[in-house]
Amino acid sequence: MTTRGSVAVIGGGIAGMTAAYRLQQRGWAATVFETRDRVGGRMWSLRKGDFLMDAGMSAYLGTYREAIRLIDELGLTPQMSDILAIGATMREGKRHHFDYNRPVSTALSTSILSWPSKLKALRLGLDTFRNRASLGYSDYTKLAEIDVETVGEYCKRALNAELHNYVGRPLVSGTWAADDDNTSIALLFWTIRNMLAPSVYNLDEGVMALPVALGRHVDLRLSAPVEHVADTGRGVEVTSRGRTETFDGAVIATTAEPALAMYPQMDANTRALYSTVRYRKLGNIAIGYDTRPGDPATYYLPTPYEDADTVAVIADHNKAPCRAPEGKSLFTVLLSHDYLERSANLSDEDVLDYAAERARAYYGIAPGRMEQFNVVRWPESVPNLDKGRFRLIADYTQKLDRKARVQFASDLDRIPGCNGALVSGEEAAVRLAQALEALPARPRAAA
């Protein structure tokens, strides 16, 4: 085949894999360099015995339109499940369930909030509705306008202590592993609009099936860390494992620190965004048992007001098919940034024991036999969207150098997570392709 030329994509997470796939579609031979021995980044699935564990990202939401469209494009729809979600939390030892298919009746009947707080919550719903048009993945100009206070500041000003402790705090903690005192109110509005969805979607082969499918369409180099990237003016040199190759262009799709280290020529606009990011740590502990509790909750979102260590407890057997055999259970316990900071010197066995205790506390499972487990401590799980971050992202987007031979993709320039990173990868691919296609054509050999 005859191609337009060659491009390098550094980073095999969902942003990089999507960028490479879209560039390949436009006629550019894409080579992906990935440090790990697998693709997917924080989208990682692995099988242990009878259990299929999602060790990073847990599910696709119905609002992940771009991700679901790509799943369909790649022919993965037959293995896509759609499960009705039931959320849950606890207050002072009592369990409270939320059926997102009946949000109004559930909100009215729940006893977790007093009636004065339920009436006060109308303010939160109204503010979210007012900003609904800007609660997407691509344009953060409007969100930047409301990015003037933290979740904690907003709750104390516009709501009350009960809503702060049992709505605001668990929503930003349970979905973003975030601290309400260091998180923009814009993220809370976005979370209510997009993440409290009635269904969770997943793939029978795990969340990782999407980046794996993308990898089948590109030249994929695993265990290939990149040490240096240089724009020579005539092409882009990429050095990996001591070998330097030249490409027409490149997309850097890594987290902030390696991107800053490998590309000293990074422009001031991108450097301002990447050098100021703060990541949250996250513990992901999966535990497979030989028994299954009767609790129908898809997940529990604890409030940091009562349990600062636990971000969420997910019942994977209620989340998607193929995660655990009938009669057995699989739980994923997400442990907080602060807990990981305190437990840095603890062994994986100690962390596992603590996670098992948290699963018992929320789901009330009988002491069954633990058959399998997996412990992952992510040092960089989610970029923190503190007050002012949306304004920085909006400013960064407006100043992007769309003609550069080196473009960037990540979840640093938008809402974090799978769909945000995927959209970032698609947009970076378009920018790079347009920049390269505007250059004078060079003769290419037909292969």
Residue 368 has a pLDDT of 78
| Domain identity same for 201 and 299 | yes
State residue 441's pLDDT score. 62
266/344 same-domain check: no
147-to-93, 157, 265 alpha-carbon distances in Å: 35, 15, 30
Among 172, 196, 220, give the residue marking a domain's end: 196
pLDDT of residue 367: 62
CATH of the domain at 432: 3.50.50.60
Which residue among 164, 196, 228 closes a domain? 196
β-bridge partners, 226 = 240
Residues 369 and 324 in one domain: yes
Does residue 269 form part of some domain? yes
Query: What is the rounded distance in angstroms from the CA atom of residue 101 to the CA atom of residue 106?
Result: 9
Tell me: do 201 and 300 sit in the same domain: yes
Q: Which helix (H) or strand (E) holds 70?
A: helix 65-73
pLDDT at 447: 43
pTM: 0.94
Asked if the structure places residue 54 within a domain, the reply is no
DSSP three-state, residue 10: strand
* 240 and 305, same domain (yes or no): no
The total number of structural domains in the chain stands at: 3
262/116 same-domain check: no
Q: Where are the alpha helices (DSSP H) in 320-372?
A: 337-342, 348-363
Please tell me whether residues 134 and 13 are part of one structural domain: no
Tell me if 313 is assigned to some domain. yes
**Whether 172 and 141 share a structural domain:** yes
CATH number at residue 308: 3.90.660.20
Residue 322 is assigned to a structural domain of this protein: yes
CB 11 within 8 A of CB 19: no
Instruction: Give the span between the Cα atoms of 141 and 442, in whole angstroms.
Output: 39
Distance CA 41, CA 131 (A): 32
- C-alpha triplet 111, 117, 121: angle, nearest 5°: 110
CATH number for 172? 1.10.405
Same domain, 291 and 338: yes
314 and 410 in one domain? no
Structural domain includes residue 425: yes
pLDDT of residue 106: 82
Residue 49 zone, left/alpha/beta (φ > 0; ψ -120 to 50; rest)? left
Domain that holds residue 261: 5-44+207-277+386-437
Domain boundary among 173, 196, 219: 196
Q: Name residue 421's amino acid.
A: A
Q: Are residues 254 and 350 in the same domain?
A: no
Residue 55 lies in a domain: no
Q: Which residues pair with 80 in a beta bridge?
A: 203
Would 51 be classed as within a structural domain?
no
The CA distance from 276 to 22, in Å, is 29
What pLDDT was estimated at residue 238?
98
User: Residue 70 domain-assigned?
Assistant: no
Q: How far apart are CA 297 and CA 313, in angstroms?
A: 10
For residue 41, report the phi and psi dihedrals to the nearest 5 degrees: 60, -120
b (16+ CB within 10 A) / e for 151-163 = bbebbeeebbebb
Q: Tell whether 369 and 308 lie within a shared domain.
A: yes
Q: Give pLDDT tens digits along the chain (447 positions).
A: 457 899 999 999 999 999 999 999 999 999 999 999 999 999 999 999 999 999 999 999 878 899 999 999 999 999 999 998 899 999 999 999 998 778 778 888 889 999 999 999 999 999 998 888 777 776 788 888 889 999 999 999 999 999 999 999 999 999 999 999 999 999 999 888 877 778 889 999 999 999 999 999 999 999 999 999 999 999 999 999 999 999 999 999 999 999 999 999 999 999 999 999 999 999 999 999 999 999 999 999 999 999 999 999 999 999 999 999 999 999 999 999 999 999 999 999 999 999 999 999 999 876 679 999 999 999 999 999 999 999 999 999 999 999 999 999 999 998 888 999 999 999 999 999 999 999 876 555 444
